[in-house]
Amino acid sequence: MGYRSYFETFTVAVGSCTLAIQNKVFNDDLGFTLWEKVAKDLSAVSLVSPAEFSEFTVYVVDKTLAGCIQVINGSVYCTPEDITSGAYREALVRLAMGFSEPWKGVGLAGYIFGEALDEAFLRSYYSEAEDLDALSLFAAYFIDAFATEEELNIAKQTAVSLTTYIIENYGIEQFLAENGQSHKQGWLTALGVEREYADPYAGCFDGYRYSVTKEYPLVVTTKRNDVFFIKPVTHDTGGYGYQSDFYTGSDFDTPQYVMSFLYKAEADIQAVLNGIAKEAPAYLQTVLDNYEEPISVYCGKSKSFAWPDQRKIEIADGKTFVHETVHLLFPYRVSYSAAIWKYETIPHYLELLFTDIGDEDRAETYKLLTEDNWVEAYYGDDPQVRDHLEELTEYYALVKKIYSAYTGMPETPDDVDLITFYRSCGDAELYQYAVEGITLFRSTPLAELYPYAVVSGSGNELTESELHSFREFLVMKYSLSNYIGFCLDELSFEDAFGMSYSEAKEAWTAYVCAFVNDIR
């Protein structure tokens, strides 16, 4: 529900601007004072800019839902004090001029209304800063939930100074027409900073729109109208059940993190789509149709989930975005409970196959594969594992043998093939379970993780590690295209792989056991 559901207003409209004052705060004197102030500020803007104003509304309320000035679509929500103090001017300019990027509203408002500048401070900062990321003027640098007090000050001063530089050297028309990117190097030089500026995200966020809600200090709408609701989050180790080892530390807590996440979110999904186009062109259009409708992404949650029927995902950190979004590309069309295994394996496989999502894991995996004492060093302080270090060492020794037999041992962390590593873990787990009767290190079957799962005649009775092995067996024996067709419910298991599930499971088990016996 929006503001219109909560209050009635006294409204006056002149030209493109509508002033709507909440009934509970309205009186004749206040209404006149506020309108006079808004009209005066708009007149000051019109003296500088020749552009026609966009249609917009200034809502005046006793308090905003977010506790701060809010820009939502073509409206600004603020208090009477925000107007009389001038605090609303940045939002006013942003809406009147139709700016999508907050920095332009900050910059032009500061230029028009005489924001004090400390160029010596800016010169010192940009000369000595470890990086020049603040010069990106990304929206999160203007929000205290993400930026430090120093970063907020730097961003505001930079926006006003850069705006002043562009207008005074190139004219207001060029400032209005461009995103400022082409002038940042010239501005740095004019400021007296002898450094080269290169923005790795230049142009990536063009056309993005920004707003705020009570819960989420940054709401980003992309060019394809996906909406990202972003807030910082800190995960306490041990607070999220079986996911406690995965979600630790802080996420979405800095402007740099948010920028990197939004960039990778678009780039990684495009990489998945490109991969499907190459490997399974027959099913690309189905995937594109599944992706067509915009997605709502809630960032900074305690766990990660996807709701394909609602076009909605929740993510605990940036690393889970691709996984959850692929669930929307491959929505379940048959009983989810009967086929959890295929809906849960396809996202992890595609992100490993087509993106760099696993780069952070390669360094530790490299140590596991190449260091003899890795198990003791990694698990030695875990009281649940300490009494079984010998058995665990034997398990990982088998994993190493299997991995080496498949692809050879890596010479550097970059050489680690994570798909092969996870397959090797699954092979070792299956072999120990099926041949040696060892269950000590067998991970939890999906049917036990999902109480509503159907076990009979499906892969739900397998563990996640075993499913990595089973999936790779199917893909290598048949094709990735067939596997994708199966996961899209375009092909039945028999049509995709030429045999029933039980026959495939038997063939896979026989293959793995024979393969491992040969290399032991």
Say how far apart CA 483 and CA 489 lie, in whole Å. 10
Burial 358-379 (b: 16+ CB within 10 A, else e): beebbeebbebbeeeebbbebb
Quick one: pLDDT at residue 237? 45
Alpha-carbon torsion 363, 462, 443, 515, what sign? negative
- For residue 492, the one-letter residue type is S
Low-confidence residues of the chain: pLDDT under 70: 1-7, 235-249, 334-336, 456-457
Name residue 77's beta-bridge partners: 59, 70
Quick one: pLDDT at residue 373? 86
Say how far apart CA 473 and CA 489 lie, in whole Å. 19
Phi-psi category of 241—alpha, beta or left, where left has phi over 0 and alpha has psi -120 to 50? left
Quick one: pLDDT at residue 236? 62
Tokens of 152: 């907020």
**pLDDT tens profile 318-373:** 999 999 999 999 998 766 677 888 888 999 999 999 998 877 789 989 999 999 88
> Do 179 and 206 touch, CB atoms closer than 8 A?
yes
Q: Which residues contact 186 (CB under 8 A, 6 or more apart)?
A: 165, 169
**pLDDT tens profile 424-446:** 999 999 999 999 998 887 888 88
- Residue (of 132, 249, 240) closest to 195 by Cα position: 132
Say how far apart CA 256 and CA 49 lie, in whole Å. 32
Q: CA angle, 305 as apex, 303 and 310 as ends, to 5°?
A: 140
- Residue (of 110, 80, 109) closest to 10 by Cα position: 80
Compute CA 464 distance to the chain's CA centroid, rounded to the nearest angstrom.
24
Say how far apart CA 513 and CA 510 lie, in whole Å. 5
Q: Which residues contact 78 (CB under 8 A, 6 or more apart)?
A: 58, 59, 60, 61, 64, 69, 70, 87, 88, 91
CA dihedral 35, 38, 44, 48 (to 10 degrees): -130
Quick one: pLDDT at residue 88? 97
Tokens of 40: 């005066």
Tokens of 20: 């709507």
> Do 93 and 45 touch, CB atoms closer than 8 A?
yes
If you search the block for the tokens 């798909």, which residue do you land on?
A: 419
CA dihedral 447, 449, 451, 453 (to 10 degrees): -40
Say how far apart CA 133 and CA 136 lie, in whole Å. 6
Quick one: pLDDT at residue 246? 43
Verdict on whether the full-model pTM lies above 0.75: yes
Burial of 82 (0-12, 13-18, 19+ CB in 10 A): buried
In the chain, helix, strand, coil percent, each to 5?
55, 10, 35
